A and B are shown apart, each in its own frame.
Chain A
Amino acid sequence: KNEVEQSPQNLTAQEGEFITINCSYSVGISALHWLQQHPGGGIVSLFMLSSGKKKHGRLIATINIQEKHSSLHITASHPRDSAVYICAAFLWRGSNYKLTFGKGTLLTVNP
């Protein structure tokens, strides 16, 4: 079992739909990243959060430390949002925190 689990693995939506991607983790964390990766490999950091909620444009990220769960929401989705979204958490390793990645969610938004 991965220490950082994402769901769903694949998600197909119609343009304009509200999208939610979920991430759960198994141990204490110091912070959590939501990353976006387009075909070709480059990764962009969307959010880094350790509590509460952050919003940037149509993207919203929330985290519940007690429940060890985070969500990434996309409002009014657009085909250009099609990408792999990766959750990465700084997991406690006994002496320090180590960034551990989920396997990603492939989002396809159709026009």
Chain B
Amino acid sequence: AQTVTQSQPEMSVQEAETVTLSCTYDTSESDYYLFWYKQPPSRQMILVIRQEAYKQQNATENRFSVNFQKAAKSFSLKISDSQLGDAAMYFCAYRRGYANAGGTSYGKLTFGQGTILTVHP
């Protein structure tokens, strides 16, 4: 079974600074996707960024970027120029790829425990 571990229960950053959230995962599969989700107090889970395992290039979305180390099974999220609106719970998640799932059961997300990010003005 796949597992996702976030070892930082809480992180804090000053506004406009950079912060990195850590995530490690364990899998024996070769085809999979990794995600970072943001969950503000409103509870709405919002996709921040995704990475396909077969792509060597790290994904980037505006101020958000990842450091994907496939051999080390590490997937960290870097937030640059932090803003007050970035404050939330962040979850790392794993999803098996179609090639490993035998067809229809590949949508399930396996989440880490989450990291609470506080942004100080």
Q: Do A and B come from one complex?
A: no
